[in-house]
């Protein structure tokens, strides 16, 4: 069963100045968004979500990945994913379509990434914030690439919809100067490969 897509959106953001200081090279944030009908809406409590996950995950993953790469090409450095389910659905419906390798691996494989995809999943009404956290596609501890894309869509999600999104960055966040987690762990005397000491 193909996804019932109402709209797709590509959001592009360049930052030229932050904190009153111009950037030598503007940063780029990109979000690829699909507004789809919630395939579980109106069906009561559905015990097995896997058939729809298997059907829709690869399709939506490829669609959104292609939209991102049409802007960033091979310059993509940071990435993440997010979803917002409408009030008529469950938070599990939003999570079902993003927390599956049927969806995420379309993106991860296309950009030859080594890290997991940072994520956020929400339930809300039309116009609620869509928040896409990002991290470096190869190094989860590289804080320069911790940043978040914020946007909203005035008429989505409707009660029977899910907003699914992938995010990307070219360059880290502006004027990065907070170090990385490896420096912190070294100063604390912790093993970088076992930071929790377990």
Distance, in Å, from the CA atom of 137 to the CA atom of 167, rounded to the nearest integer, reads 11
pLDDT of amino acid 179: 81
pLDDT of amino acid 12: 98
pLDDT of amino acid 82: 98
Angle between helices 91-98 and 101-110 (to 10 degrees): 40
Instruction: Sketch out the chain's domains with CATH numbers.
Output: 5-188 (3.30.1330.110)
| Contacts for 85 with CB less than 8 Å, ≥ 6 apart | 38, 91, 93, 94, 121, 122, 123, 157, 161, 162, 163
Coil, helix or strand for 65?
Answer: helix
Strand partners for 120: 82
Angle between helices 50-72 and 91-98 (to 10 degrees): 60
One digit per residue, the tens of pLDDT, for the chain of length 198 reads 899 999 999 999 999 999 999 999 999 999 999 999 999 999 999 999 999 999 999 999 999 999 999 999 999 999 999 999 999 999 999 999 999 999 999 999 999 999 999 999 999 999 999 999 999 999 888 898 999 999 999 999 999 999 999 999 999 989 988 888 778 888 888 877 776 665
Work out the end-to-end distance of the chain between its first and last CA atoms, rounded to an integer number of angstroms: 45
pTM for this entry: 0.92
């Amino acid at each position: 069963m193909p996804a019932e897509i109402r709209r797709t959106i590509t959001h592009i953001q360049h930052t030229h100045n932050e904190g009153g200081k111009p950037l030598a090279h503007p940063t780029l944030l990109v979000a690829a968004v699909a507004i789809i009908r919630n395939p579980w809406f109106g069906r009561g409590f559905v015990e097995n979500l896997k058939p729809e996950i298997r059907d829709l995950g690869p399709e939506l993953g490829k669609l959104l990945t292609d939209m991102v790469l049409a802007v960033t090409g091979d310059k993509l450095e940071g990435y993440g994913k997010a979803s917002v389910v409408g009030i008529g659905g469950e938070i599990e419906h939003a999570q079902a379509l993003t927390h599956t390798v049927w969806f995420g691996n379309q993106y991860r494989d296309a950009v030859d990434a080594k890290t997991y995809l940072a994520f956020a999943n929400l339930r809300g009404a039309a116009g609620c914030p869509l928040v896409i956290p990002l991290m470096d596609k190869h190094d989860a501890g590289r804080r320069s690439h911790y940043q978040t894309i914020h946007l909203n869509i005035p008429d989505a999600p409707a009660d029977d919809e899910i907003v699914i999104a992938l995010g990307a960055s070219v360059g880290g966040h502006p004027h990065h100067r907070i170090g990385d987690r490896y420096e912190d762990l070294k100063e604390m005397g912790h093993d970088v490969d076992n930071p929790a000491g377990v």
